[in-house]
Amino acid sequence: MNILHQIDPYLTSDDIVIRHFALNAVSTFPSFKPEWPGRLIHAAMHDKRDAPSYLLAVEKMAIGESDLPVLVDALSKARLENQHLFIRIVMKLPLDVKLANREQIGRWLSEEEWAFLTTLKAATKEELYRMLQVALEELESKDEYDDILYSQSKRIVQRQVELGFADTSGFLGILEGPQKDEWMSYKGIITVYTIGLLKDSSFIPALARLFERDEDILQEELCAALIACQSDEVVRAVEPFARSKDAIFPINTIAGTHSDLAVATLKNLYGDTSDLDYQAYMIQGLATQLSAEGRPEIEHYMNDEYHTSIFDNEEMAYGYFNIMGFDHPKLEQWERKARGSNERFLKSFNEPLSTALKSFTGTTKSYSGTSEPAVSTKVGRNDPCPCGSGKKYKKCHGNES
């Protein structure tokens, strides 16, 4: 069965454990059904308590004009603590759709954002090039990570690619050239992002070699760019790095490449390591591939007495076995544990978000035009998020700017 059809009914299942597994799984899929974004936004609007689970999945999908009515309706009814998640989806709307529907969504975006969008729409090829250069130079000059400016840089590149202005002739030199600083330059990182948009498989070997650099922002973009290629060449190029000391992003790259070779490689990697943390990433990858070939490794992993706490292992196992139609003597046990952890997750997420964020974002904003001042803390591009999640700031609340 086609994997999209296989998982489709579980995305809005009444069984929260299976639903959470399904929503997490589709976040790793290279494609999706066109009706999914609108359907999940609608579900989030009516299931306010679990809205974040739906919306985090929608963020990984392309949003179009057909999704706008339900998105606007949902935003008008959203809880304050969930508004930022809906607004992140508004930000993903195509440029032309946003500008054509400013009357409907204008209040949710700042005047600075609208000015940027207007400039972006009118920019010529040369102006887009200059805009990108200025943004990258400003990013390099900052001591702390600036997600707003980084996001703008990526949207300039999106516009260049959309109009056919992307010039790849110097990309290999940028990727393989010497780096004078500890971190990869933003020019290099944005080059990786551009290759991902173009899905240019000629750069796969050069991209894979960059996994040697220990930098989360770079590795995130490498992972996304290589997954976009959906090629067995990616699996072969990345496998050596999935056996290295810092292998999480390479493993996720293989897991996000949906092919028989990717499944076989994850199985081999699992059998070749005793590191429980790395095994957890491999098992998650096998589970979200929804391949029957991964069942022996998943069963072996779940039979171990000790599991890492990186993932909700019981949710993964219960979701995988149910969607695949497999029976297992521990299904009820996994279900009980998973329901308990899901309830704790929902309880913690539905506490007022403004209280948790106020100490480091600088404002508690209602998105209706008012904001309350607070003490701001600068956060570096590779620093942990101050909210205490354990994630890098860029991967957590820095992504909500």
Residue 168 vs residues 69, 173, 202, 245: alpha-carbon distances, Å: 38, 10, 11, 32
Query: CA nearest 59: which of 23, 103, 95?
Result: 23
3-state secondary structure of 364: strand
pLDDT in tens for each of the 401 residues of the chain? 699 999 999 999 999 999 999 999 999 999 999 999 999 999 999 999 999 999 999 999 999 999 999 999 999 999 998 999 999 999 999 999 999 999 999 999 999 999 999 999 999 999 999 999 999 999 999 989 999 999 999 999 999 999 999 999 999 999 988 766 678 999 999 999 999 999 999 999 999 999 999 899 999 999 999 999 999 999 999 999 999 878 999 999 999 999 999 999 999 999 999 888 899 999 999 999 999 999 999 999 999 877 777 889 999 999 999 999 999 999 999 999 999 888 887 777 666 544 444 433 333 333 333 333 333 344 455 455 544 444 444 445 454 44
CB within 8 Å of 162: residues ≥ 6 apart: 95
Please report the DSSP string for 260-286 in residue order: HHHHHHHHHHHHT---HHHHHHHHHHH
**Nearest-angstrom CA–CA distance, 99 and 117:** 8
- pLDDT, position 205: 98
**Nearest-angstrom CA–CA distance, 275 and 251:** 13
Neighbour-count burial of 33, counting CB atoms closer than 10 A to its CB (0-12 exposed, 13-18 middle, 19+ buried): middle
The model's pTM:
0.86
**Nearest-angstrom CA–CA distance, 399 and 147:** 7
Query: Tokens for 235?
Result: 């699996």
- pLDDT, position 63: 95
Q: How many helices (H) and strands (E) does the chain have?
A: 23, 2
Which uninterrupted H or E stretch holds 363?
A: strand 362-365
CB 257 within 8 A of CB 231: yes
Q: Report residue 363: phi and psi, to 5°.
A: -145, 155
- pLDDT, position 350: 63
Tally the residues of the chain.
401
**Nearest-angstrom CA–CA distance, 287 and 267:** 11
- pLDDT, position 235: 99
**Cross-strand pairs, 361:** 376
**Cross-strand pairs, 365:** 371
- pLDDT, position 51: 94
Residue 210 is which amino acid? L
**Cross-strand pairs, 376:** 361
Pairing of strands 371-376, 362-365: antiparallel
Query: CA nearest 20: which of 364, 386, 317, 372?
Result: 317
Query: Tokens for 356?
Result: 């948790």
- pLDDT, position 153: 98
Residue 133 vs residues 22, 153, 156, 160, 162: alpha-carbon distances, Å: 40, 9, 10, 13, 18
Q: Residue 76, Cβ neighbours under 10 Å: how many?
A: 11
- pLDDT, position 351: 62
